[in-house]
Structure 1
Amino acid sequence: MALQLPSADLDWTALRNFAMLRGQLRVSLTPECNEKCWFCHNEGDVPPPFTHLNRDARPRKREMTAGDFLNVLGGLVDTGLKRVYFTGGEPLLSPLARPVLTQLPDRGPGATYTLITNGTLVRRHQEWLSATALDKVKISLHYFSDESLKAIASARFGIATILDGIEAARETFERVELNTLVQRENEHELHDILTYALDRRLPVQFIELVDTDFNAARKGSAIGAQGIISHLRTLTSDEEVEVSGVGQGRRIFRIDGIEIDVIHRELGRHHVGQCGTCPLRSTCVEGFWSLRVDHAGGIKPCLLRDDLRMDIRPLLADPEKIPAAVARHVAAFTEGTL
C-alpha cells in the first residue's frame, strides 16, 4: 500500500486509543526459523513449512537495518504504545537481534519489552541477552516429547534443547512465560505441559488456532480449548473472564498464584471499522489487536490481509515522520476508509 504522508491537522486519537486498549506492537526481526510448525503464520509473511514445500514461495527480503528498527521503535513507543513484542520467525536467528535488543529505546512507565522465541537459541545467546532491557521472555512450548515436536515442528533437534532453553531463560530473566497452541497433535500432552509450568511457577497461555491460508490443509488438527478449561476447573475455582481491550477474550485461572490464560474464541473478538465489511471477517478469530512491523519495511494492522500493509521504506531516511504516518494509517483502518 502506498504511503500517505500526514497532514498538519492529523488526529492521533485512533492510535492512542489502540495503545490505551493494550494493543501490541509486534516487531518481526526475521522470517527465518529453525522449526517448521505446520500452523505457522510468520506474522503475515510466508512461513517456513510453506517454503519447504514450495521452493518458489520465499519470504520478503530484509530491508531494515538495526538502526531502522530502533528508529521506528523509538518513535512508536513515544506515541504511547506500551506492549512491544519481538518476534520472527525465530528472532534469535536474525543478525539484527543483538544490536536491536541490546540498544532498546527508553520507554515510559508501564511499557514492556518481550521476546517471543522457541527457546532453542536462548542458551547460546544467554550472555548478551542478560544485558538487554527485556522485561520478559515468552517461549513457545507446543510439544512435550520428541515425537510431538517432530509431528508439529518437523524439528531435527529434540525436546531437551527447548527445555534447556527454558531453563536458560529462567536463569537470565525474572519473568518467563510459556505459550501452547492447543491442537490434536499435543492434546495428550497438555496436562503434562501445565504440570511442568506449575512446577516451575511459569505462567502459561493456551491458545486456540488462528486460521490462515497457510494452515488450511490441516484444519482437522485444530481443537477447541474446552478440554483444558475443564481440567483447570478441577484444579482451581479462581477463574475470571477478560473481554476488554483489543483482540480475543481470554479466561484467566490462578493456581497457587500462577496465572494460566486460555485464549478462547467463544469469548468474542474486537473488530473495528474496516472489519465490518472485511471479506475475511467470518474466518478471523483475532480482530485488530496488534501492529506488525516487519523486516522488509512494512507495518500492518491485520494478520490476514496484505492489502492493508503500509510500506514505510520511503520514510526510513526521515524516521521522525513515521509515527504520524502510522497514526494516519490506523485512523483510516478504524474508520473503514483504508
Structure 2
Amino acid sequence: MTIPLPIAGLDWTALRNFAALRGQLRVSLTPICNVKCWFCHNEGDVPPPFTHLHRDAKPRARELTAEDYVNVLRELIGAGLKRVYFTGGEPLVSRLARPVLTRLPVRGPDVSYTLITNGLLVRTHQDWLATTGLDKVKVSLHYLSDESFRAIAQTRDGVAAVLDGIEAARETFERVELNTLIQHENEHELRDILAYALERRLPVQFIELVETDFNADRKSSAVGAHGLIDHLRTLTREEEAVVSGVGQGRRIFRIDGIEIDVIHRELGRHHVGQCGTCPVKAKCVEGFWALRMDHAGGIQPCLLRDDLRMDIRSLLDQPEQVPAAVAQHVAAFTEGTL
C-alpha cells in the first residue's frame, strides 16, 4: 500500500489516543529466528516453522538500515509513542541489533525500551547489551524441560541455554520479565514455570494462543487460562481485572509483590472502527494494541491483516514526515475508512 505525503492540518487525535492508552510500537529487527516455535506469528511476516516446511515461502527482504531504524524511532517517539518493543524473529540474530540498540534515541518522560528474546543469545551478547539504553528484557519461557523445549521450539538445544540466558539478563538489567504461551505441550509445566518465576522474583505474563493462518492447523494445542487462574487464586487474593486501554483484557495477580499477568480472552478486547467490518474479526482475540514496524519498511496496525500494511520506504530520506503519515494511517484505521 502506497501512502500519500503528509498533509497540513492533519488530525493527530487517533495516534495520540493510541499512545495515551499505552499502545505499543513493536519494532521487528529480523524475521529470522534460531528456533521454530510452532505458534510463531513473526509479527505478521512468514514465520520460521512455516518457511522450514515450505521452502518457497520466504519472509520479506530487509530494506531498512540501522540508521533508518534509529531515525524513524526518534521521530515516532517525538510524536508521542512511548512503549517500544524490539522483536523478531529473534532480534539478537540480526546484525542490526547492536548498531540499533546501542544508539537508541534519548528517552523522554515515560518512554521505555524493551527487548523480547528467546534468551539463547543473551549470554553471547551480554557485554554490549549492558551498554544499551534498554529498560527491560522480556524472555520467552514456554518450557522447563528439554522434552517440552524440543516439542515446542523444534530445536536440538537444551532448555539450560534458555535458563542461562535468563540469568545473564538478570545480571545485566534491573528489569527482567518472562512470557509463556499456554498450550497443551506445556500445560503440565505451567505451575513449575510459575514457581521458577516466583523463586527468582520475575514478573511473568501467561498468554492464550493467538490464531493465525500459519498455526491454524495446531488449533488443538490451544489451552484456555482457566486452570492457571484457578491455581493462582489458591496462592493469592490480590487479583485485578483490567479491561481498559488497548488490546486484550487481562487478570493481574500479585504474589509477594510479584506481578503475574494472564491475558484472558473472556475479558474482551479493544476494537476500533476498521475492526467493525473486518472479515477476520471473529477469530481476532487481540484488537488494536500495537503498531508493528518491520525490517522491510512497513508499519501495520493489525497482526492478521497485512493488507492494512503501509509502506514508509519513500519517506526514509525524510524521517520527520513519518509520524504524520502514520497518524493519517491510524486515523483512517480507527475511523473505518482505511
TM-score under structure 1 normalisation?
1.00
What letter is aligned with 2:127?
Answer: E
Structure 2 counterpart of 1:53: 53
Structure 2 residue aligned with 1:138? 138
For structure 1, the 5+ residue unaligned runs are none
- 2:319 aligned with 1:319: yes
CA distance in 2 between partners of 1:239 and 1:318 (Å): 47
**Residue 185 of structure 2: SS of its match in structure 1?**
coil
Instruction: Report 1:154-165 matches (<5 A).
Output: 154-165=154-165
Paired AA for residue 43 in structure 2? E
Alignment of 1:215-226 (within 5 A): 215-226=215-226
Q: CA deviation at 1:318?
A: 1.1
- Aligned counterparts of 2:70 and 2:333: Cα–Cα separation in 1: 25
Report sequence identity in percent: 79
The answer to whether the Cα contact below 8 Å between 1:78 and 1:107 also exists between their aligned partners in 2 is: no
| Pairing of 1:1-338 with structure 2 (within 5 A) | 1-338=1-338
Q: CA-atom RMSD, angstroms?
A: 0.5
Once the two structures are superposed, residues 201-237 of structure 1 have per-residue CA deviations (whole angstroms, 9 ceiling, x without a partner) of 0000000000000001100000100011000000000
Q: Deviations over 1:235-287 (max 9, x none)?
A: 00000011110000100000000000000000000000000000000000000
Deviation at 1:107, TM superposition (A): 2.1
Q: Which amino acid aligns with 2:268?
A: G
Secondary structure (helix, strand or coil) at the match of 2:70 reads helix
- Looking at structure 2, the residues matched to 244 and 128 of structure 1 have their Cα atoms a distance apart, in angstroms, of 37
Aligned equivalents of 2:301, 2:71: Cα separation in 1: 19
Contact 1:61–1:296 (Cα < 8 Å) also in 2: yes
Q: Provide the rounded CA distance (Å) in 2 between the counterparts of 1:4 and 1:247.
A: 28
How far residue 302 of structure 1 moved from its aligned partner, in angstroms, is 0.3
Deviation at 1:2, TM superposition (A): 1.1
CA–CA separation in structure 1 for the residues paired with 2:276 and 2:114: 31
Deviation at 1:109, TM superposition (A): 1.0
SS across alignment from 2:51: helix
Shift of 1:111: 1.1
Q: Deviations over 1:169-216 (max 9, x none)?
A: 000000000000000000000000000000000000000000000001
State how far apart, in whole Å, the 2-side matches of 1:265 and 1:107 are.
33
Q: CA–CA distance in 2 between the matches of 1:169 and 1:15?
A: 33
SS in 2 for 1:214: coil
Give the Cα–Cα distance (whole angstroms) in 1 for the partners of residues 241 and 67 of structure 2: 40
Cα deviation for residue 291 of structure 1 reads 0.3
Task: Please give the per-residue CA displacement for 1:83-107, whole angstroms capped at 9, x wherever unaligned.
Answer: 1000000000000000000000012
Q: Does structure 2 retain, via aligned residues, the 8 Å contact 1:10–1:328?
A: yes
Tell me if structure 2 keeps the 8 A contact 1:292–1:301.
yes
AA paired with 2:78? D
TM-score (norm 2): 1.00
**Structure 2: distance between partners of 1:124 and 1:102:** 16
> Which consecutive aligned stretches of 4+ in structure 1 deviate over 3 angstroms post-superposition?
none
Shift of 1:74: 0.5
C-alpha distance in 2 between matches for 1:319 and 1:204: 36
Q: Aligned equivalents of 2:245 and 2:83: distance in 1?
A: 13
**How many angstroms apart in 2 are the aligned matches of 1:206 and 1:137?**
16
Per the TM alignment, residue 6 of structure 1 is displaced from its structure 2 partner at its CA by 1.4
Tell me the number of residue pairs that the alignment of Structure 1 and Structure 2 aligns. 338
Displacement of 1:32? 0.2
Q: Which amino acid aligns with 2:39?
A: F
Distance 1:122 1:302 in 2: 29
Encode CA deviations 1:82-139: one digit per residue, 9 max, x unaligned: 1100000000000000000000001211111000000000000000000001000000
Deviations 1:142-162 (A, max 9, x none): 011000011101012100000
The whole-number CA distance in structure 2 between the counterparts of 1:89 and 1:49 is: 11
CA drift of 1:5 comes to 1.4
CA contact (8 A) 1:269 1:287 kept: yes
